[in-house]
Copies of this chain bind each other. A is one copy, B any other.
Amino acid sequence: MAETYAVIMAGGSGTRFWPASRPERPKQLLPLAPGDSRSLLEATVDRIAPLVPIERVIVVTAARLADATRDALPTLPPENLLAEPTGRNTAPCVGWAAATVRRRDPEARLMVLPADHHIGDEKTYLQTLATALAATDAGDLVTVGIKPTRPETGYGYIEVGEALDDKVSRARRFVEKPTRERAEQLFASGSYLWNSGMFFFRVDSILGAIEQHLPGLADGLAVLDAAAAEGHEAKSLQETYGDLPSISIDHGVMEKADRVAVVPGDFGWSDLGSWLTAWELSPKDDGGNAVGRDSVLLDASGNLVRAPLGKVVALVGVSDLVVVDTEDALLIVPRERAQEVKEVVAELAKR
């Protein structure tokens, strides 16, 4: 049987978790999962270990994050870290990883996973991944779609088509992040799943689909392959990568390909998209506060507090706030407006 490689996409810049996240310390390198001292990236790698040993884990990140990413995964073989000279969205990232794996094993299967998600039920998660991997055998491009729990406007959706077997269906189409009204319809219909950004395919399938739908990318990958054969891929990467088409694997390939399948997933998935999500996932006291033991709470409820160990955070008469304290920055925002932290980051970038 063909071996499976995992491609972990770990290039996110993570402005939504400011001030914990910074350009040099983005979300995937932070321990944002409640009660887990590991970075989200390390947790992701650990989680899939029963399916893919670290020797076959490929981590794609930005060049500026390469050192920090190596530090976060000390057991990752150095050649398994792919550092993009510049960000070109996910299609070049997946394409480069697929080309790299093909040189090692032309029959390999790939599972492409974001580095920064949260999984509540790991056993079901692994079963779902195994199902999705098995579904790649016939050459399909496979995705896992999450069973929606609310009419979320922050995710893309996948329409489920005909059943291929009891666990796998044809994916009829991909739907962009919807309006509120449209999200209600999609949620009510029962035939749409959230696009989780997890993809599964044989390397030859995805590289064939790239050749068909993103020929510019395929040409660039051929240049890299040729350079690798002559031992100077690094130099070629610097010259080539910035010119690759900047497009997502969803838009560039999945939406256009003929044989796309979807496996429904229901395993406590969260994209951990904001401090609000972090609060939702955290254990809370009777007053709905998710705070450290060094906090002092007087008539305070529904708050999330993140602060350095040992720092006393006293909340008196405040509710439903996100309070994130770091050495050089402090954020205070109502929980329901947590996504506006992006505007703070933009304001700081202007200064």
Q: Chain B residue with minimal CB distance to A303?
A: B332
B334 touches A330 (CB 8 A): no
Asked whether A330 and B318 contact (CB < 8 A) given A296-B344, A298-B343, A347-B298, the answer is no
Q: How far is the CA of A310 from the CA of B329 in the complex (A)?
A: 9
Which of chain B's residues have a CB closer than 8 A to the CB of A332?
Answer: 313-316, 318, 321, 323, 332
B311 touches A348 (CB 8 A): no
B329 touches A298 (CB 8 A): no
Which of chain B's residues have a CB closer than 8 A to the CB of A343?
Answer: 298, 316
Having A298-B340, A298-B343, A332-B332, one finds 14 other A-B pairs with CB under 8 Å, namely A19-B312, A298-B344, A307-B330, A310-B328, A312-B348, A314-B330, A314-B331, A314-B341, A314-B344, A315-B333, A316-B332, A316-B337, A318-B332, A325-B325
Q: How far is the CA of A10 from the CA of B275 in the complex (A)?
A: 44
From residue A322, how far is it (CB to closest CB) to chain B in Å?
9
Q: What is the total number of copies of this protein in its complex? A: 2
Q: Which of A298, A312, A314, A329 has the most CB of B within 10 A?
A: A314
A317 at the interface (CB under 8 A from B): yes
A317 touches B344 (CB 8 A): no
Q: List 16 A-B contacts (CB under 8 A).
A: A19-B314, A298-B343, A311-B328, A311-B330, A312-B328, A312-B329, A313-B329, A313-B332, A314-B331, A314-B341, A315-B332, A316-B340, A316-B341, A316-B343, A317-B334, A318-B332
Chain A contact patch, size range? 20 to 34
From residue A321, how far is it (CB to closest CB) to chain B in Å?
7
Asked whether A333 and B317 contact (CB < 8 A) given A298-B340, A310-B328, A312-B328, the answer is yes
